[in-house]
Structure 1
Amino acid sequence: MVHQTMATRMIRAKSASIKINTMNFRLLRLVATTLIVGTLAACSTKPTQTPAPAPETPVPVTVPEYHPVPGTLNQSKSRWVPVEWSDLPGFSDDSLFEAWNAWLRSCEKPAPAFAPLCADVRRLSIANGEEQRAWMMDKLRPYRVEGNDGKVDGMLTGYYEPFLDASRTPGNGFNVPLYAPPADLGVRKPWFTRQQIDTLPAAQAALQGRVIAWVRDPVEAMVLHIQGSGRIRVQEADGTMRVTRLAFAGTNDQPYKSIGKWLLDQGLVRDATWPGITAWTLQNPQRVNELLWANPRYVFFREEQLSALDAGFGPRGAQGVPLTPGRSIAVDRASIPYGTPVWLASSGPTVQLSRLVLAQDTGSAILGAVRADFFTGWGHEAGEVAGRMKQNLRLWALWPR
């Protein structure tokens, strides 16, 4: 910023004292006469107007020129600035073996840049942390992820896999349907809104026979829609209980609207986390439909069987591999490519994190250079953590040398 100072000149008139005596009385009378004549002349002359000051010329703002650090990598929505490994907070303390399962999953569908490293990743799955750390430092280089405007601070949120009790038939409190995609979903775009699906006979006719299961709570169903996948514990016709996964299978192509923001805009809550939203619905059951219909977007599911191996991982993310609790993140693909190992540091009221994670998913609300959604797992406890997570974030991409 350029600061300018203006010097103000002050004109000082010096007063002179005149000694009057009888010797210069004639001089004084002559001066007085001259002043009177001048005054009369001034009265008969139109006063001269002082011209308006010219408008100030705007001072141009000098924008500092960006000088890229040698070795900087540019992405569509971010730039990666090379740093030292010592710049990564907590790098020497992380239990890297916990992240190795996520890395092994990424190697099932590796990004081209990382495919040559996957043989080593598999080999090192039984190595100790120091061996894994030394290999990373030899094969990878850390880059600080920042926006194209130079901002290095972003936001971390959390997501999870809801776990709901369900029934194959309606009744006994199970009256909220979870649908597979309708046959005409790809023909009619956008499809019916959430409110129309609940109330319009044409929409309900199109969904006839498409119910996968029924759950009890419409708000929990909404959570399942927002998270995009979940698990249900369902009683089958033979009486056996089985846990199965409902995976994302499409949407009605309507815009997503945050019901938390709707509550805040209406002045109905101050806490728009999921626990806060749930508390409001319990106090205002007559307005639940109004709340849910504020979000016109609707998600359809497909049922997937859970094997013993799948049960230890989350749903498949956008990379096409199962998510690992605590080690998978969703990112903006225009900032960080899928399959990239990322060092994440975040401090906030919910959790303190400094760890290796893998960019394996994305989301419609995950936009920006330094932005991530942290997969916390499944079930109630994971939901409690994810629902309250909204805190500061810094990211470092780890890229092959």
Structure 2
Amino acid sequence: MRAALRALALCAVTAIGGGAAAEEVLHFEELDGWAQDDHRAALLVFRETCDLLKAPEWGPLCKFAQDVPATPDAARGFFELFFRPVLIGTPPALFTGYYEPELAGSPVRTPRFAYPLYAKPPEMREGMVWRSRAEIESGILRGRGLEVAWLDDPVEAYFLMVQGSGRIVMPDGSTLRLGYGGKNGHPYRSIGQELIRRGTHRLQDVSAQSIKAWVRGNPAAGAALLNHNPSYVFFRKLPDLPPEKGPIGAMGRSITGMRSVAIDPKFTPLGAPVWVEKDGRDPLRRLFIAQDTGGAIKGAQRADIFYGTGLKAGNQAGTVKDGGRMLVLFPIDRAYAMLPDG
């Protein structure tokens, strides 16, 4: 096994573009907690999307990954032999969390369920800047048959757009899966940062939970605050997504709780393994796979950790705002080629 792995490693080629020059190539022994992680779990998630990595050096690695025995030792050997951890940018990193909400809803408007989620209007084109959130919320789409579901809380509707996907439990007990269906082209503005600017919150006090509480406690001002973010997300129905699968990420396939992470693709290739050393109240030392992106995820040391589905995952994700560092695992030749004199 080791001989076969080493022979394949020597065949790697170097052609992935983009990103910044690496500051440092590390050894796995330098990663805090590397030996204690469940590398088998990371390998299984890596297999889900590695075939979508089109640069030449990834193809042989992905093919071999499918044949690696699904054991912790074999998985660890695979990553250690073929990859090197690359530090891009300057720590501390900023780690946040996201999740797939599960909300009560209805397929039609009722006195309780009065807040719509919309599909993308047909006149919208990719890259087009369309109407702002405030304009859409004023009702310009009403009556066009674009509603995919109705919710009973405008605050939850807003945060569902922040997450980009969700499960809507209908009155009859059935569940509708919704995925990202596009956005209106306006830049994302953080309403948490706006509350800090106004002096109502301190940085350490801002979380999804505290923002929801403030908006609900100040209905008029809260509605105006939500419209401070002009970005608006549309949804599409996912009728064929099995209930045991996670939501669809930026690579067009399901993501996995506590093993998938959203990154900035300018620095980290989608599909690449990412080593996370998150500090804070609940520290993490874990190998994730970069399978998603987000409008607020910008920079080499920036990542959004997918915590899973439902209320518990939401409570965990909503309080994450921690430092640490992250490293991208690149194929060996590419890792060293990224050095300034490589």
TM-score normalised to structure 1 length: 0.73
Mapped pair 1:121 → 2:93:
no
Alpha-carbon distance between aligned partners in 2 of 1:298 and 1:347, rounded to the nearest angstrom? 32
How far is 1:110 from its partner? Answer: 3.1
Secondary structure, aligned partner of 1:158: strand
Mapped pair 1:184 → 2:123:
yes
Equivalences for 1:304-319 in 2 at 5 Å?
304-308=238-242, 311-319=243-251
How far is 1:161 from its partner? Answer: 1.1
Contact (CA 8 Å) 1:336, 1:359: kept in 2 or not? Answer: yes
Equivalences for 1:90-101 in 2 at 5 Å?
90-101=33-44
Give the direction of change, closer, same or farther, for the CA distance of 1:393–1:78 in structure 2 (3 Å limit): farther
How far is 1:78 from its partner? Answer: 4.5
How far is 1:272 from its partner? Answer: 2.1
Unmatched segments (≥5 aa) in structure 1: 1-70
Contact (CA 8 Å) 2:99, 2:163: kept in 1 or not? Answer: yes
Alpha-carbon distance between aligned partners in 1 of 2:253 and 2:43, rounded to the nearest angstrom? 14
Counterpart position of 1:278: 212
Give the residue type in structure 2 aligned to 1:260.
G
Mapped pair 1:163 → 2:95:
no
1:146 pairs with one of 78, 81, 88: 88
Give the residue type in structure 2 aligned to 1:110.
L
Secondary structure, aligned partner of 2:175: strand
Give the residue type in structure 2 aligned to 1:366.
I
Counterpart position of 1:269: 201
Secondary structure, aligned partner of 2:52: coil
Counterpart position of 1:255: 187
Contact (CA 8 Å) 1:244, 1:306: kept in 2 or not? Answer: no
Contact (CA 8 Å) 2:127, 2:185: kept in 1 or not? Answer: no
Give the direction of change, closer, same or farther, for the CA distance of 1:173–1:269 in structure 2 (3 Å limit): farther
Contact (CA 8 Å) 2:155, 2:216: kept in 1 or not? Answer: no
Mapped pair 1:219 → 2:155:
yes
Alpha-carbon distance between aligned partners in 1 of 2:29 and 2:151, rounded to the nearest angstrom? 50
Give the direction of change, closer, same or farther, for the CA distance of 1:80–1:244 in structure 2 (3 Å limit): farther
Deviations 1:68-117 (A, max 9, x none): xxx9x995334152222210111111011222231121234234332212
Give the residue type in structure 1 aligned to 2:297.
I
Contact (CA 8 Å) 1:175, 1:214: kept in 2 or not? Answer: yes
Mapped pair 1:102 → 2:45:
yes
Alpha-carbon distance between aligned partners in 1 of 2:276 and 2:127, rounded to the nearest angstrom? 41
Give the residue type in structure 2 aligned to 1:269.
H
Deviations 1:273-329 (A, max 9, x none): 111012212322333321221111111111002543xx3332222222211110111
Alpha-carbon distance between aligned partners in 2 of 1:374 and 1:111, rounded to the nearest angstrom? 24
Counterpart position of 1:228: 164
CA RMSD of aligned residues (A): 2.3
Equivalences for 1:2-401 in 2 at 5 Å?
76-112=19-55, 113-124=57-68, 126-143=69-86, 145-147=87-89, 151-186=90-125, 189-199=128-138, 203-204=140-141, 208-235=144-171, 240-270=172-202, 271-308=205-242, 311-349=243-281, 351-401=282-332
Contact (CA 8 Å) 1:346, 1:393: kept in 2 or not? Answer: yes
Deviations 1:246-286 (A, max 9, x none): 11111111222212122222222332211101221232233
TM-score normalised to structure 2 length: 0.85
Give the direction of change, closer, same or farther, for the CA distance of 1:258–1:327 in structure 2 (3 Å limit): same
Report the number of matched residues: 315
Q: Flag as ranges the 4+ runs of structure 1 deviating above 4 A.
A: none
